[in-house]
Amino acid sequence: MLNSLPSSQATRPKFGQKYSALRLVMDALTQNRNLQPQWRSPTPKARYDAIIVGGGGHGLATAYYLAKNHGMTNIAVLEKSWLGGGNVGRNTTIIRSNYLLPGNIPFYEMAMQLWEKLEQDFNYNAMVSQRGIINLYHSDAQRDAYARRGNAMRMHGVDAELLDQAGVRRHLPFLNFDDARFPIQGGLRQPRAGTVRHDAVAWGYARGADQRGVDLIQNCEVTGIKTDANGVVGVETTRGFIAAKKIGLACAGRSSQVAAMAGLRLPIESHALQAFVSEGIKPFIDTVVTFGAGHFYISQSDKGGLVFGGDIDGYNSYAQRGNLPTIEDVCEGGMALMPAIGRVRMLRHWGGIMDMSMDGSPIIDKTPINGLYLNAGWCYGGFKATPASGHCFAELMARDQPPAAIAAYRLDRFAQGYVIDEKGMGPFPNLH
């Protein structure tokens, strides 16, 4: 059902066609014989008003909001493989807005508010589950840091609750509270955080963009960006040259490579980040948990698998696979936090290419080349930002002015000294 048809067979779903309980019953009674493709697979046009390079969550969301909010329909999304085959389908599905710095909190809270009404907006079941998140602390210093973070959140109108040890026990009684090295003293909880089905997000945005006339071009790799004295002219692809007045780059870990086609050098490194899922087990964890004494985070999917992750691989890489030392480190963190998972078998793991910026925060801005726009540097925060990223990037491309929510995510902040260093780690992308 989710695969698109060749253009010779494709029929665009009727605009306004809605999913509903009644339609679910009717499809079941007809054994799904009347299901239509979710989106077309059109032949690229010679010219578009705007091109989005990258068919992941951010690229598809940008195209959707360009069409929905700004009336731009002569748009193409170019994806070198299949839609949603990159990081949007390779993450641990967590959404949250529990940030500290003024440049981040309003943006991620905007994303959270968009998540809360996303399914009604694009009429697609993305399985938004606001089950909450608890960030554990293990020392007085961490408690003070989380108290500061929680106060900053609440000053921006974001929900936050500082828990003592008894409060954490009420939510997570199975944790290893008395570990000699990492005793759990409490945690910072955001009740509205949670998880979303990652691939459904890509499918929902793709379907919504297609219904509004956007061309979603798969198996179309960009091999060059053509410019002249006035700015961008178009892109060279494996399916020929495509002209465009505006080009938006939403290429995640490939951002540096694609930007280099236009002669730009970005303040970004690419690293592999691994994620893991266990065999399915009975309901065990009803929230998202992060380990404060190491980089480990875990939740449980609706299918019963434990979904967890940790640090990026420390070296630069474009490989969508990881290494055994990182697997060992992540599993050690899980065992230190909750020894009960020691007998659960790991089902699979995978890797995504992370575009790690110099300060750990994203870049959404115009580039020095007229008509070329950049959406990159998402580090660990890319999936949770998807709706706000697409919403703001679309406004930037349509109006040529950044909305207030992304005013801090300027490309020149590293030269100007306006960095957004959430973790306080300095100019070391691998540490963010």
Distance of CA 216 to the CA centre of its chain: 19
Name the CATH superfamily, with its identifier, for domain 21-90+198-266+359-431: FAD/NAD(P)-binding domain (3.50.50.60)
Q: What is the pLDDT of residue 37?
A: 86
What residues does each domain of the chain span?
Answer: 21-90+198-266+359-431, 128-195+269-357
Supply the CATH classification number for the domain 128-195+269-357: 3.30.9.10
Question: How far apart are the C-alpha atoms of 158 and 38, rounded to whole Å?
Answer: 35
| DSSP string computed for 210-245 | HHTT-EEE-S--EEEEEEETTEEEEEEETTEEEEEE
DSSP 8-state symbol, 14 = P
Cβ atoms 388, 394 nearer than 8 A: no
pLDDT at 22: 86
Q: What is the mean pLDDT of each run of 10 residues along the chain (432 residues)?
A: 41 58 85 86 96 97 98 96 92 96 96 97 94 97 97 97 97 91 95 96 96 97 97 98 98 96 96 94 96 95 95 89 88 94 92 94 97 97 96 98 96 94 86 82
What pLDDT is attached to residue 41?
92
Please check whether residue 66 is in contact with residue 60, taking contact to mean a CB–CB distance below 8 angstroms. Answer: no
Nearest to 114 by CA among 44, 184, 216, 204: 204
User: Do the beta carbons of residue 362 and residue 381 sit within 8 Å?
Assistant: yes
pLDDT of residue 17: 65
Which pLDDT score, from 0 to 100, does residue 60 have? Answer: 98
Type of residue found at 127: M
**Contact status, residue 109 vs residue 391, Cβ threshold 8 Å:** no
Contacts of residue 263, defined as CB under 8 A and 6 or more positions apart, other chains included, come to 369
DSSP letter for each residue of 35-98: ---SS--PPPPSEEEEEEE--SHHHHHHHHHHHHHH---SEEEE-SS-TT-SGGGSS--EE---
Give me the pLDDT at residue 72, please: 96
